[in-house]
Amino acid sequence: MQLILPMFSTIRDVKRYLASVPLAVRSLGTEVNLVDVLALEALRVRFPAAHAMLPAAADLLTPAKTRFQASTDRTERERAFVEEFTSLLNGHAQPVIRLLFPAAERLLGGQNYSFDWNQTWEQDRRVACSTVLDFYLHRRLPAGRAPAEYVDQVADCIGDESALNEVLGQVPDALLDDTLKRLVLHCRDAPEGSVLPTAAALMRQLPRVRLGSTGMYSPSGEWAVLSPVSVLLRNLGGDVADHTVRSLFSGIPSLYGKVLLLDIASGRPGKQGLIPDESARLLRQELASLLRTAGPEDLADERMLLRTVLVAAADGPPALEPAFDARAVARLLESGVAPVHSQTMGSVAVRTEKQLRWDSLVSVYGGEAHLAEAAVALMQQCLQEGTVELNEDLAAALALYEKYATGWRPEEF
């Protein structure tokens, strides 16, 4: 109200505003905070020329990255924007910027905001967040952006495992990554009793997300699931955290899911984990036991099998009984392929090269001779018997294997 009321001086203007508000609210739904919608609609009705400047100045009002910068360091474009925007708003520019676009306050001599604020603005659906402002201006979501109602529905089910399973199942695969990433802030203050059921439902989504990164600076796809789970677990401490991680570990159906949980719960050299080192060791032993008793048909559905074997072998020799079954060999070779990204200094181009974790595969098979025996048998089954499908990933893995088997290594090897 401190922004809207001073803009109006006649009953006629108020009536025009009240007539336009319902349409604006309906068209924006829950994607934009109602307070911002009302304020921006007042700006549009009373100062249309200033409102028309918003699309071109979006990057100034909601910078993608913020840094400390004195108001005297403004660029020529920033100075021109401030001059025109201020002249059009008849004294209302400062409250408009302060209440709607706080990241731009520095342009008027105000305070600087760190980029960390962007998460808060996004969660609150304020136009101070560039993504929210873009929706307000264009009335469309970018590719991969989940509607706010999906995030709301998932957040409302925190603590109810059954309901969360159901509502997450209704989120399209293409929008699951964004939905889970925006769930993180809702998990920060989750009650202790809601952590285990919520984390269990989230870990069940792992088969639906990609594993690994797609670029040099992109996070691994599994972190869409692991980030909210990690935040949930950090709400706990001591014996409660230990018991919760153990219970969660037992309930995860896949071996690679158990490995990913160990990644976020175990300690690192010089860094305390969520669970004691002894608990992590016992869970790795349990993983090794499960791996030894897994049949080829179970391993055929496992992702990142090579990494799973190596984690299970952290406290002893590799434990994989059906290592020579063609299905297990296929999964091991596929998961042994790693994209390596590199960039030449001064260039924006990123090169991606696939490499094979040769030494790890050799250690699993106990020598290059045994690895060769398994790989040759796999090729025969793919080419002659057809018992293993030669998909694109497996074909790439076998091609790499043949290069490495001749002694070839990448230049940085």
- Specify whether 170 is located in the same domain as 299: no
pLDDT at 249 over 70: yes
The type of residue at 114 is S
Average pLDDT score over residue span 132-153: 94
Confidence of residue 268 (pLDDT cuts 50, 70, 90): confident
Mind listing the pLDDT tens digit for each residue in 159-205? 999 999 999 999 999 999 999 999 999 999 899 999 999 999 999 99
Last residue of a domain, one of 267, 293, 319: 293
Residue 113's pLDDT is 86
Residue 218's pLDDT is 59
Confidence of residue 338 (pLDDT cuts 50, 70, 90): confident
Which contiguous run of DSSP H or E holds residue 44?
helix 34-46
Q: Counting Cβ atoms within 10 Å, is residue 70 exposed (0-12), middle (13-18) or buried (19+)? A: exposed
- Specify whether 148 is located in the same domain as 288: yes
pLDDT at 71 over 60: no
Average pLDDT score over residue span 133-145: 94
Contacts of 305 (CB under 8 A, 6+ apart): 255, 256, 299, 328, 331, 332, 334, 335
> What's the rounded Cα separation, in Å, for the pair 267 and 262?
9
- Specify whether 153 is located in the same domain as 211: yes
Residue 296's pLDDT is 84
pLDDT at 412 over 70: no
- Specify whether 133 is located in the same domain as 43: yes
Average pLDDT score over residue span 49-65: 89
Q: Which residues of 114-139 are buried (b: 16+ CB within 10 A; e: fewer)?
A: eeeebeebbbebbbbbbbbbbbbeee
Using alpha carbons only, how large is the chain's radius of gyration in Å?
A: 27
Confidence of residue 236 (pLDDT cuts 50, 70, 90): very high
Last residue of a domain, one of 138, 160, 181: 138
pLDDT at 214 over 70: no
Residue 230's pLDDT is 96
> What's the rounded Cα separation, in Å, for the pair 219 and 258?
20
- Specify whether 116 is located in the same domain as 151: no
Residue 58's pLDDT is 94
Residue 318's pLDDT is 59
What's the residue count for the chain? 413
- Specify whether 321 is located in the same domain as 359: yes
Where in the sequence is the domain holding 24, given as residue range(s)? 5-138
Which of 71-75, 288-292, 318-322 has the lowest average pLDDT? 318-322
What are the angstrom distances between the C-alpha of 36 and each of 25, 88, 271?
10, 20, 43
- Specify whether 306 is located in the same domain as 395: yes
Total number of domains in the chain: 3
Residue 64's pLDDT is 59
pLDDT at 65 over 60: no
Residue 263's pLDDT is 92
- Specify whether 320 is located in the same domain as 354: yes
Last residue of a domain, one of 241, 270, 293: 293
- Specify whether 301 is located in the same domain as 257: no
Residue 152's pLDDT is 95
pLDDT at 413 over 50: no
Q: Counting Cβ atoms within 10 Å, is residue 170 exposed (0-12), middle (13-18) or buried (19+)? A: exposed
Share of the chain above pLDDT 90, in %: 63
Contacts of 331 (CB under 8 A, 6+ apart): 299, 300, 302, 303, 305
- Specify whether 11 is located in the same domain as 98: yes
Residue 325's pLDDT is 85
- Specify whether 128 is located in the same domain as 180: no
Residue 217's pLDDT is 56
Confidence of residue 59 (pLDDT cuts 50, 70, 90): very high
- Specify whether 109 is located in the same domain as 166: no
Average pLDDT, the chain: 88
Global pTM?
A: 0.84
Share of the chain above pLDDT 70, in %: 90
pLDDT at 359 over 60: yes
pLDDT at 290 over 80: yes
